[in-house]
Amino acid sequence: MLIRVGSRGSRLALTQAELAASRLRGPGVEIALVPITTAGDKDRTKPFGQIGARGVFVKELEEALLENRIDVAVHSAKDMTSSDPHGLAVGAYLEREDPRDALCGADAIRPGMRIGTASARRRAQLLALEPTLSIEPLRGNIDTRLRKRGERGLDAIVLAACGLDRLGLSGEIGLRLEPDVMLPEAAQGALALQTRAGEDELVAHVDHAETRRRVEAERRVVRVVEGGCLAPVAAHHDGTTLTALIAAEDGSWVERRTGADPDALGRELADESRRHA
């Protein structure tokens, strides 16, 4: 049996796709990797909000699934929308790796630093932590952003620790930011294997149940809050406690809550957002 695995074409995405492929390969199972360019890859200069909301790195992969051009799409789960499109489902989550954000170029956040990130979530939390920071927009793949840090003389940039780890670039990390300092994006650190609905048997045997439990709770919070790529919303389940936050992009207010029920937590944060509007 041949399984066509779709992935973005960046070095990190292909590394992640090969990781998924290594789990799926077995007796009688062959894997063909199919690189696909997404809207987020085509335009690497505009802010995410100008090229689409959450999902700019997954839409074309999902279309390829629905059009039967691939059988499995491998996503960084944090890039996915908070609910699955009609006809598609997450058949498996691989075991989650480090969900934390990483500060590259410095070992601490200090007043007045120039820090690069394209994430509204990171911007909001950084400014809430230290209002004197200068947060500068920075897009591109990991290698590009690391290079631009030096070219633009930035003091630091913030990236997902798991991506650096997967590429063997852990040495670039000056500080891994704990969730109580910077709450991660919902599902950060997890890889999602998406299939057509009813075809999850292709990947179900590699599903990591505990990762699914935590990630689905995080995605549920975001779905209730209805956060998009530019909405500073974050959610993280540490195995015991589900924590979520919503914030002003300028960091002027941050509402952080914990709870067991993702729906109740999401409604509470949505109410707080309206209160601040």
Residues in a beta bridge with 237: 242
Give the strand pairing for 191-196 and 72-76: antiparallel
* Whether residue 46 has pLDDT greater than 60: no
Could you tell me if 123 and 249 are in contact, meaning their C-beta atoms sit under 8 angstroms apart? Answer: yes
Task: Compute the average pLDDT of residues 172-185.
Answer: 97
Task: With respect to residue 65, please indicate whether it lies within any of the assigned structural domains.
Answer: no
Task: With respect to residue 37, please indicate whether it lies within any of the assigned structural domains.
Answer: no
Task: With respect to residue 148, please indicate whether it lies within any of the assigned structural domains.
Answer: yes
Pull the structure tokens for residue 124.
């909001």
Q: What is the CATH number of the domain that holds 142?
A: 3.40.190.10
pLDDT score recorded for residue 11? 93
Residue 239 to residue 97: CA distance in whole angstroms = 13
H or E segment and range at residue 276 = helix 262-276
Pull the structure tokens for residue 206.
């590699």
How many domains, in total, are found in the chain?
1
Task: With respect to residue 272, please indicate whether it lies within any of the assigned structural domains.
Answer: no
Could you tell me if 7 and 61 are in contact, meaning their C-beta atoms sit under 8 angstroms apart? Answer: yes
Task: With respect to residue 10, please indicate whether it lies within any of the assigned structural domains.
Answer: no
Catalytic site includes residue 79: yes
Domain of residue 162: give its range. 101-177
Task: With respect to residue 126, please indicate whether it lies within any of the assigned structural domains.
Answer: yes
- Return the percentage of the chain with pLDDT > 70, whole number: 92
Which residue out of 41, 43, 71, 79 is catalytically annotated? 79
Q: Report the predicted TM-score, pTM, of the whole model to 2 decimal places.
A: 0.90
36 to 44, 45, 73, 74: CA distances (angstroms):
16, 19, 10, 11
**Of 5 and 228, the one with more pLDDT:** 5
Task: With respect to residue 52, please indicate whether it lies within any of the assigned structural domains.
Answer: no
pLDDT score recorded for residue 39? 65
Give the E-state strand segments of the chain in sequence order: 2-7, 30-35, 72-76, 88-93, 101-104, 114-116, 134-136, 156-160, 173-177, 191-196, 233-237, 242-247, 254-259
Residue 37 to residue 2: CA distance in whole angstroms = 22
Task: With respect to residue 193, please indicate whether it lies within any of the assigned structural domains.
Answer: no
pLDDT tens across 100-155, in order? 999 999 999 999 999 999 999 999 999 999 999 999 999 889 999 999 999 999 99
Residue of 160, 217, 166, 168 lying closest to 185 (CA atoms):
160
